[in-house]
Structure 1
Amino acid sequence: MPEFLPYLLIALAIAGLLAVIFEEVIHINKAQSVLFFGAFSWILLFMFSPEPAIHEQVRAGLEHNISEIASLWLFLVAAMTFVAYLNKKGLIENIIYRLLPAQISERKLLFLTGIFSFVFSSLADNITATLVSVALILSLRLPAAKTLRFATVVVFAVNSGGVAMITGDVTTLMIFLAGKVSITNLLLLSLPALLAVLLLAFMLARPLRETAIIEHKHNDVQRVDVMIACVFMTTILATMAGNVLFDIPPVLTFLSGLSVMFLLARAYGEDTEHDPIMDYIRQIEFDTLMFFLGILLIVGAMKEIHALDGFLDLYAVVPVWVANFLMGLLSAIIDNVPLTAALLKADVQMNTAEWMGLTYAVGVGGSLLIIGSAAGIVAMSKINELTFGSYLRYLLALLLAYLVGYAGVLGMAKILLETAA
């Protein structure tokens, strides 16, 4: 392998990262950018590895990389298809408006919005959870200053809810699939994560003193829609139980649940020529999936040239809990998917409690800046008043909530280890 190749690949990885950060400036979809840099990096590795032993090592590395990506992709496709169906049928909206009264104090509504965003994002992907929550906020027609407070809580709550469930956040799923934490470990993150959301809502709710009027909507929901919602919830529970009891890979359980959804729709006549059930697969966020593909290809190439060893140096200099906290802060600037992938590929040695801390840090740390998470980007695109600067005014409150949540996770994890010992 020539000496210039590692430097070239690192330059391509940096270019890919910059393309993500400045997506709104260069007007090129980040999925397109990172997919190009990721695929091109592996092509260069094959081209400049003529020696049989190194060439075979590169081939094995790519096959392992593709296998990891395929498992992640198939799981997300199954989960996102469920949500796309239920969202289009209006079942999610119906649940929201059924739970909310016609009139409610703004303070109470802020807390309920945070709790809903937290719970829903643990079941659905962050983008869908944000879109649904933002639609509720916009329907209230609040003044700009109040809308910003609601949006800030939604972004933080969506990211917080996802960390405790493999269905809620891709970084949580990545850490789980790498065998660093179990499903039962992740469930323990729910309490401190929710506590942090409630703390943020408490801090931002103080100026809210009026009553909000909620315009209730009703969508016609068929029996088959309710049954498919039950299949979705059953699939989530079966995924957790199957993994804990029989070590069944989550992707396998979710694909089984998806097949039941298809067969159920067919049996109830929902799978028609004008509305084929398989078409809901096309309605999921494929640009998000392509982004994950490109990022993981880039990080895989970085592993092949040992460019990720620098992460090990940080963990050797400062205590692990400090390094994990800093990684959470870094995820507000660098997308948490490549950051998490890099840490996993670098093979940082941590115990279960420390991996739980990292899971929370990289999942929630992106909330500190509006550009640090997919939830923030989606909310910013839908709410005109929400900008980088307007969101920044709540940085201290966000940082305090993040700190409390992280401290709670460490405390919970420490109790877990002591009990297990």
Structure 2
Amino acid sequence: MRFLLALAVLLNSSLMAMAAEGGNGGGMTVVDLTNYPLSWMVIVALVVAYGFVVWGEQHHLEKSIPVLIGAGVIWAIVGIVTHLQPDHVIVEQAEFGFEHSIIEIGELTFFLVTAMTYVVTLQERNVFEMVRYKLLGAGLSQRAIFWATGLAAFLLSPLLDNLTTALALISVVIAVGAATRDRMFVSLAAINLVVAANAGGAFSPFGDITTLMVWQAGKVEFFEFFSIFVPSLVNWLVPAVIMSFAIKSSDVEAYNEPVVLKRGARRMIALFALTLVMAVSAHIFLELPPVIGMTTGLGFLMLYGYFLSHHEHEHFEAPVLPDGIQDDMLAVLETHYKLKHKPFNPMTSIKRLEWDTLLFFFGILMAVAGVSQLGFLLKVSEYMYGNLGPTFTNSFVGVLSAVVDNIPVMSAVLKMDPNMVHGQWMLVTLTAGVGGSLLSVGSAAGVALMGAAKMENEEGRYVSVYTFMGHLKWTWAVALGYAASIWVHTLLHQMY
């Protein structure tokens, strides 16, 4: 059922995306070629590709594979359709559209590569483990930990992605749940983390891929994102207050393993902050893409990592192997097995990135760009934004992102480039960021916590405590927060 629903909703998303392109297509010149039967094959290719993404979740197929193939098929169809036209200018326009998409998506991809490399490096240096250690050692009650982890997620996700933030804090929740044997606490705290991480990422261009897309597209300036801080806060607080009444206020004594920051951790945090400042400064003062500041910061990280790795190599103590291991056997061990603890290597952080996610991001955006190139987006955009109104449509975008990944949905909106006031661009930025909280499968944070939030049952097996149905029971509370955030945003922008 979810498979069919996802396909139907994605088709609607694609039609919305198709509709807006007859305008300026996000900077590309687009000709309406939707009357050709072959043109509709790009919709079929997109739906099939996304269908295999949904299927692959259950069969361990990397989600990047179908979208990369689908993007290639879609652009091949675009090439065939444009070459069938008598006017050769249409072919040149399609070529320009492809090159424009590659540049735009490439900038976003390298921005994410830098940000994710810093996050992986900070994980390796025990920064997030230190956050867990400090929270558990504060002597808080269950209800206080519920609020502390939610607040930490809301404040960390503007700088980190919602996935990393949720995973870093769920360890605190699981430790408390293991000590108290309170499954309800773990489930509610996990929902709270998902909502808080998504809400916190909505008011920062670094907090979510969709906000980054809006920023780099020039629809919202850097400091303007903070105007949706209050609606984002309301989006988290409303369900958090409701759920907190179901949390016990008893004290907690959970096992808290001591953590020590590895050498260079604080300097890497400072480098990350400097990198973000350079990205913003390049965009505001030099009118250059933010990615140039990010990649420069990546170079600084790798340079510092070079000196750090040399220092750790000099002081590295190799593990003591059992006596009797022959030299040939030692060579085999060194070839086929990796040490758990070894000197820092900056390139290792890049190798550990979620490359499947990055390639999925590249593939799905290229696929949507190909669909938009044939001019599908204009008709539905005129209907959705013209007849139904921007407020209803932008609110629906958030609900849509709870079922379909918010990346293609936001990409579709940007390709539509509807003519709407600035406050409506802020609204769609908000709804696309927080709408995924409505379902556990609506965001990367929710999907990750369904696999990470596990507790030992009476039979000694570890089972998931945070589940789809468990989240669904509280969707009404999350929906109240979603509606309240839209109301607050509308009220604030009417006033100011």
- Corresponding residue for 1:289? 358
Measured in 1, the distance between the counterparts of 2:120 and 2:72 equals 29
Counting only pairs closer than 5 Å after superposition, residues 148-227 of structure 1 correspond to structure 2 as 148-209=187-248, 210-227=250-267
Aligned pair 1:356/2:438, yes or no? no
Which consecutive residues of structure 1, in runs of 5 or more, have no partner in the other structure? Answer: none
- Corresponding residue for 1:123? 159
Counting only pairs closer than 5 Å after superposition, residues 334-373 of structure 1 correspond to structure 2 as 334-373=404-443
Partner residue of 1:82 out of 98, 118, 123: 118
Measured in 1, the distance between the counterparts of 2:51 and 2:81 equals 25
The alpha carbon displacement at 1:229 in A equals 0.8
Aligned pair 1:333/2:373, yes or no? no
The alpha carbon displacement at 1:81 in A equals 0.3
- Corresponding residue for 2:371? 302
Counting only pairs closer than 5 Å after superposition, residues 7-26 of structure 1 correspond to structure 2 as 7-26=40-59
Task: Work out whether residues 195 and 236 of structure 2, in 8 Å CA contact, stay in contact via their aligned partners in 1.
Answer: yes
Task: Work out whether residues 136 and 172 of structure 2, in 8 Å CA contact, stay in contact via their aligned partners in 1.
Answer: no
Measured in 2, the distance between the counterparts of 1:271 and 1:34 equals 41
Task: Work out whether residues 265 and 271 of structure 1, in 8 Å CA contact, stay in contact via their aligned partners in 2.
Answer: no
Of stretches 106-115 and 214-223 in structure 1, the one that deviates more from structure 2 is 214-223
- Corresponding residue for 2:20? none
The alpha carbon displacement at 1:170 in A equals 0.3
Count of paired positions? 416
Cα distance change on mapping 1:243 and 1:3 into 2, 3 Å: closer
Measured in 1, the distance between the counterparts of 2:255 and 2:422 equals 46
Counting only pairs closer than 5 Å after superposition, residues 237-276 of structure 1 correspond to structure 2 as 237-268=277-308, 269=310, 275-276=344-345
Q: TM-score, normalised by structure 1?
A: 0.93
Task: Work out whether residues 75 and 251 of structure 1, in 8 Å CA contact, stay in contact via their aligned partners in 2.
Answer: yes
- Sequence identity, in percent? 29
- Corresponding residue for 2:458? none
Counting only pairs closer than 5 Å after superposition, residues 408-419 of structure 1 correspond to structure 2 as 408-415=488-495, 418=496
- Runs of 4+ aligned structure 1 residues displaced above 4 Å come to 270-274
- SS of residue paired to 1:175: helix
- Corresponding residue for 2:26? none
Measured in 2, the distance between the counterparts of 1:414 and 1:218 equals 50
Of stretches 47-56 and 290-299 in structure 1, the one that deviates more from structure 2 is 47-56
The alpha carbon displacement at 1:102 in A equals 4.5
Measured in 2, the distance between the counterparts of 1:271 and 1:359 equals 44
Cα distance change on mapping 1:163 and 1:270 into 2, 3 Å: farther
Task: Work out whether residues 121 and 158 of structure 1, in 8 Å CA contact, stay in contact via their aligned partners in 2.
Answer: yes
Task: Work out whether residues 114 and 198 of structure 1, in 8 Å CA contact, stay in contact via their aligned partners in 2.
Answer: no
Bigger relative CO (Cα 8 Å, ≥ 6 apart): 2
- SS of residue paired to 1:262: helix
The alpha carbon displacement at 1:248 in A equals 3.8
- SS of residue paired to 2:264: helix
Cα distance change on mapping 1:277 and 1:326 into 2, 3 Å: same
The alpha carbon displacement at 1:152 in A equals 0.5
Of stretches 76-85 and 371-380 in structure 1, the one that deviates more from structure 2 is 371-380
- SS of residue paired to 1:49: helix
Which structure has the bigger radius of gyration?
2
Q: TM-score, normalised by structure 2?
A: 0.79
Give, as a single letter, the amino acid of the residue that structure 2 aligns with 1:150. A
- SS of residue paired to 1:188: helix
- Corresponding residue for 1:110? 146
The alpha carbon displacement at 1:34 in A equals 1.2
- SS of residue paired to 1:28: coil
Task: Work out whether residues 440 and 471 of structure 2, in 8 Å CA contact, stay in contact via their aligned partners in 1.
Answer: yes
**Partner deviation per Cα, 1:92-112 (whole Å, 9 max, x = no partner):** 221342255342111111111
- Corresponding residue for 2:27? none
- SS of residue paired to 2:252: strand
- Corresponding residue for 1:228? 268
Cα distance change on mapping 1:270 and 1:128 into 2, 3 Å: farther
Give, as a single letter, the amino acid of the residue that structure 2 aligns with 1:332. A
- Corresponding residue for 1:70? 106
- Corresponding residue for 2:471? 391
**Partner deviation per Cα, 1:137-191 (whole Å, 9 max, x = no partner):** 2222242222110110111111111111122100000111111101111022223
**Partner deviation per Cα, 1:111-148 (whole Å, 9 max, x = no partner):** 11111111221111222112212222222224222211
Task: Work out whether residues 197 and 401 of structure 1, in 8 Å CA contact, stay in contact via their aligned partners in 2.
Answer: yes
Give, as a single letter, the amino acid of the residue that structure 2 aligns with 1:211. D
Task: Work out whether residues 109 and 358 of structure 2, in 8 Å CA contact, stay in contact via their aligned partners in 1.
Answer: yes
**Partner deviation per Cα, 1:27-66 (whole Å, 9 max, x = no partner):** 4222211111112211222244325333222211111111
Aligned pair 1:29/2:29, yes or no? no
Of stretches 277-286 and 191-200 in structure 1, the one that deviates more from structure 2 is 191-200
- SS of residue paired to 2:140: strand
Cα distance change on mapping 1:21 and 1:270 into 2, 3 Å: farther
Which consecutive residues of structure 2, in runs of 5 or more, have no partner in the other structure? Answer: 1-32, 314-341, 454-463
Cα distance change on mapping 1:54 and 1:37 into 2, 3 Å: same
Task: Work out whether residues 102 and 216 of structure 1, in 8 Å CA contact, stay in contact via their aligned partners in 2.
Answer: no
Cα distance change on mapping 1:222 and 1:371 into 2, 3 Å: closer
Aligned pair 1:324/2:419, yes or no? no
The alpha carbon displacement at 1:400 in A equals 0.6
The alpha carbon displacement at 1:223 in A equals 4.3
